[in-house]
Amino acid sequence: MNKVYAAFRSVGSYIPKNILTNEDLEKMVDTSDEWITKRTGIKTRYIADKDESTSDLGAKAAKKAIKRASLKIDDIDMIICATISPDYLCMPSTACMIAKKLGISNRPSFDISAACSGFIYALAMAKSFIESRMAKNVLIIGSEKLSAIVDWSDRSTCVLFGDGAGAAVVGATKNRDEAIIDINISADGNYYDYLITPGCGSSKPCSEESLKEHACYIKMKGNETFKVAVKTLTTDVKKLLQKNDIDTKRVDYFIPHQANYRILSAVSQALKLKESQVVVTVSKYGNTSSASIPMAINDLYEEGKLKPNDLMLLDAFGGGFTWGSALVPFSPLI
Ligand code: COA
């Protein structure tokens, strides 16, 4: 039997309409535009409406990706949603909610929890399902309403995050030139408490006490996370490039998870990438966790910069800790 490969066919994103600037945050907590800009590179982020949920954002991004893949809703045979801000804490999954909103039923739909690395994990799963012939067209989504799990009284985290969604269709192909070249995903649970929502799970069930402690919101050991992120990402990406004998000169776009400008510029410098190769959206959107990479790919696409056969190098790092990198040609059906 001929081998089947997985191709990255299309992308879409959705950005909520409410903008939150650093100046707005100055009025909410003891911070300044100068501190946020210097330490993170973030200027603005977008916030979903009260009645907009993670699946609303995800479904809107997904619709665009499906249309751009020239597929009908019925052609999608699997939905994987990466999120840390699901519509419902335990069930149903946000992927099921997205499926309902898209009018897709009788298809496997599930969420994965890999924090900011979620999109690369979802991509790896889509690739595996396609290569094993269990699916032909997998819809992968990174969608986050982080504003719902951010502690708006904690200046060390609330300035960092934003809401948004990105989606992609990964499809089967027999043409090896179109195929995703390689993906690496990994994790180290020893760092579980560096980036955590400590309350309202089974280890500390929702209670008056956990609510009072703001335990259901994101807590981060920012500085320690920063150091591990830069080191891990640099090593991980170098390994992926070496394993596939690919020089950074062949990479058209380096699209890292957008957590902090200082992290992505340190990694880009360590990899000796040119400024023109590095995609930066963190200034506009802040950190949108699993959505940041597909949102950045979508911006490139909508700006007309992403062309068929362009080679994308993706990397991400997040809570868990989890991390991953991927070498992905853009292979739309034309
Ligand atoms: N405004 C003003 N001052 C702030 C502030 C804010 N919003 N947040 C923190 N500070 C203060 C701290 O209280 C501290 O003050 P002190 O020196 O008097 O104690 C000082 O700024 C430095 O804090 P620190 O946490 O060491 O800053 P930093 O340079 O590490 O930057 C982060 C903080 C969060 C921006 C940075 O650590 C980071 O980006 N971390 C990693 C994020 C990440 O990669 N996440 C993984 C994927 S999601």
Cβ–Cβ under 8 Å, residues 13 and 64:
yes
Going by pLDDT thresholds of 50, 70 and 90, the confidence category of residue 103 is: very high
Closest residue (by CA) to atom 14 of ligand 1? 156
pLDDT for the residue 149: 97
Determine the pLDDT at residue 122.
Answer: 98
277, 264 contact by CB (below 8 A): no
Confidence (pLDDT) at 273: 97
pLDDT of residue 24: 98
Atom index in ligand 1 nearest the CA of residue 263 equals 44
- Distance from the CA of 115 to the center of ligand 1, in angstroms? 19
Q: Residues near ligand 1 with C-beta < 6 Å?
A: 31, 35-36, 39-40, 116, 155-156, 159, 195, 222-223, 225-226, 229, 259-260, 263, 287, 317-318
- Looking at residues 46-68, what average pLDDT do you find? 98
Cα distances from 46 to residues 81, 226, 244, 286, in angstroms, run 20, 23, 37, 8
Q: What is the pLDDT of residue 240?
A: 98
For strand 78-82 and strand 137-145, is the pairing parallel, antiparallel, or unpaired?
parallel
Torsional sign, CA 204, 208, 212, 218: positive
Distance 40 CA to ligand 1 centre (A): 9
pLDDT for res 19: 98
* SS3 assignment, position 170: strand
Residues 227 and 288: their CA atoms lie apart, in Å, by 20
The answer to whether 163 and 57 are in contact (CB under 8 A) is: yes
Q: How confident is the model at residue 158 (pLDDT cuts 50, 70, 90)?
A: very high
- Report helix, strand or coil for 270: helix
Dist. CA 143 → ligand 1 center (Å): 25
Q: What is the number of the ligand 1 atom nearest to the C-alpha of 159?
A: 7
Ligand 1 center to 168 CA (angstroms): 32
Q: Ligand 1 center to residue 313 CA distance, Å?
A: 27
Asked if pLDDT for residue 1 goes beyond 80, the answer is no
Angle at CA of residue 180, ends 179 and 182, nearest 5°: 130
Confidence (pTM): 0.97
Structure confidence at residue 205 as a pLDDT band (50, 70, 90) = very high
With tokens 């090896």, the residue in question is 176
For 159-190, how does the pLDDT look when each residue is reduced to its tens digit (9 = 90+)? 999 999 999 999 999 999 999 999 999 999 99
pLDDT in tens, 278-308: 999 999 999 999 999 999 999 999 999 999 9
**Mean pLDDT, rounded, for 314-327:** 98
What's the fold here for domain 1-334?
A: Peroxisomal Thiolase; Chain A, domain 1 (3.40.47)
Directed axis angle between helix 261-270 and helix 222-243, to 10°? 30
**Which tokens hold the place of 78?**
């699997």
Burial class (CB in 10 A: 0-12, 13-18, 19+), 6: buried
* 146 close to 289: Cβ distance less than 8 angstroms: yes
Give the H/E segment covering residue 84.
none
pLDDT exceeds 90 at position 23: yes
Q: Which of 156, 194, 232, 263 to mutate to test the pocket of ligand 1 (most atoms within 8 A of CB)?
A: 156
Look at residue 198 in the predicted model and tell me its pLDDT: 96
Give me ligand 1 centre to Cα 88, in Å.
Answer: 30
Q: Are strands 311-318 and 137-145 parallel, antiparallel or unpaired?
A: unpaired
| 25, 35, 39, 191, best to mutate for ligand 1 pocket (most atoms within 8 Å of CB) | 39
Amino acid letter for position 287: N
Note the pLDDT tens digit of each residue in 78-97. 999 999 999 999 999 999 99
What is the DSSP annotation of 178-235?
GB--EEEEEE-GGGTTTEE--SSBTTB---HHHHHTTTTS-EE-HHHHHHHHHHHHHH
Instruction: Give the chain's mean pLDDT.
Output: 97
Q: Whose CA is nearest to atom 30 of ligand 1?
A: 223
> Active-site residue numbers?
116, 257, 287
Per-residue pLDDT tens over the stretch 220-231:
999 999 999 999
Domain boundaries, the chain: 1-334
Cβ contact 330:304 at 8 Å: no
Q: Which residue has the CA at smallest separation from atom 39 of ligand 1?
A: 260
For ligand 1, atom 5: residue with the closest CA? 156
**149-165: average pLDDT:** 98
pLDDT at 68 over 80: yes
Mean pLDDT along residues 16-20: 98
Confidence of residue 39 (pLDDT cuts 50, 70, 90): very high
Residue 243 DSSP label:
H
Average pLDDT for 44-72:
98
pLDDT at residue 2 tops 90: no
Q: Please give the pLDDT value at position 184.
A: 98
Which atom from ligand 1 is nearest to the alpha carbon of 157?
34
Mean pLDDT value of segment 317-334: 96
Q: Is residue 334 pLDDT above 80, yes or no?
A: no
